[in-house]
């Protein structure tokens, strides 16, 4: 688009023909988006910033000097918007990290103590429930806890892998129900 055509569109927008601005967006949208995308990795953020560039340009069109390059002016706005994006995202990130660290400092020790107690209770309940399983199920669970391979367990018990799978499934269901009943 020639400079005269750009200036004609700017003059029309300034006089109240806001729809003519869409032609400027179509003409320079690719350059602005390419500039922003080359600096901002997150696609959604880059698209938002590019949109903000054109909103700022529209609002500030009265300040644009038509003897200058419109594209350079848009890229200048884009540079400022990208910088603002990085400043605010850095501030948000820093504030978020500080908040997280403070929370962890304040409640971390209490959470660790509760988790240790809870884990110990669960293990004790699980071991009690294992002892209540029928003999064959108990043998399968203990072998699995020792890390024995499925085929080795099946061979020891003189059963098929499918039978072992079914015994394991039933044992897991029984253990889950038993532990759930024991713990609030």
Question: pLDDT tens digits, residue range 30-88?
Answer: 889 988 988 888 888 999 999 999 999 999 999 999 999 999 999 999 999 988 888 88
* pLDDT for 23: 92
Long-range contact set of residues 50-55: C-beta below 8 Å, sequence gap at least 24: 50/78, 52/81, 53/77, 53/78, 53/81, 54/21, 54/25, 54/29
Question: pLDDT tens digits, residue range 105-157?
Answer: 666 566 656 656 676 788 788 889 999 999 999 999 888 888 888 899 999 99
Residue 97 binned pLDDT confidence (cut-offs 50, 70, 90): low
* pLDDT for 167: 94
- Tokens read off for 10: 């700017």
Predicted TM-score (pTM) above 0.75:
no
Domains observed in the chain: 3-94 (1.10.1740.10), 109-182 (1.10.10.10)
Find, among 24, 18, 17, 35, the residue nearest to 1 by Cα. 24
């Amino acid at each position: 688009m020639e400079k005269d055509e750009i200036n004609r569109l700017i003059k029309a927008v300034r006089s109240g023909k806001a729809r003519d601005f869409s032609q400027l967006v179509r003409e320079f949208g690719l350059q602005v988006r390419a500039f922003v995308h080359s600096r901002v990795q997150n696609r959604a953020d880059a698209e938002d910033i590019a949109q903000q560039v054109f909103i700022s340009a529209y609002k500030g069109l009265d300040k644009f000097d038509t003897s200058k390059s419109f594209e350079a002016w848009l890229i200048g706005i884009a540079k400022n918007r990208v910088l603002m994006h990085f400043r605010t995202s850095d501030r948000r990130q820093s504030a978020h990290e500080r908040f997280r660290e403070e929370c962890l400092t304040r409640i971390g020790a209490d959470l660790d103590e509760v988790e240790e107690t809870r884990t110990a209770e669960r293990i004790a309940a699980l071991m009690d429930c294992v002892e209540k399983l029928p003999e064959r199920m108990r043998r399968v669970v203990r072998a699995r806890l020792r890390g024995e391979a499925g085929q080795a367990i099946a061979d020891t018990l003189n059963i098929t892998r499918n039978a072992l799978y079914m015994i394991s499934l039933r044992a897991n269901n029984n253990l889950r129900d038993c532990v759930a009943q024991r713990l609030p």
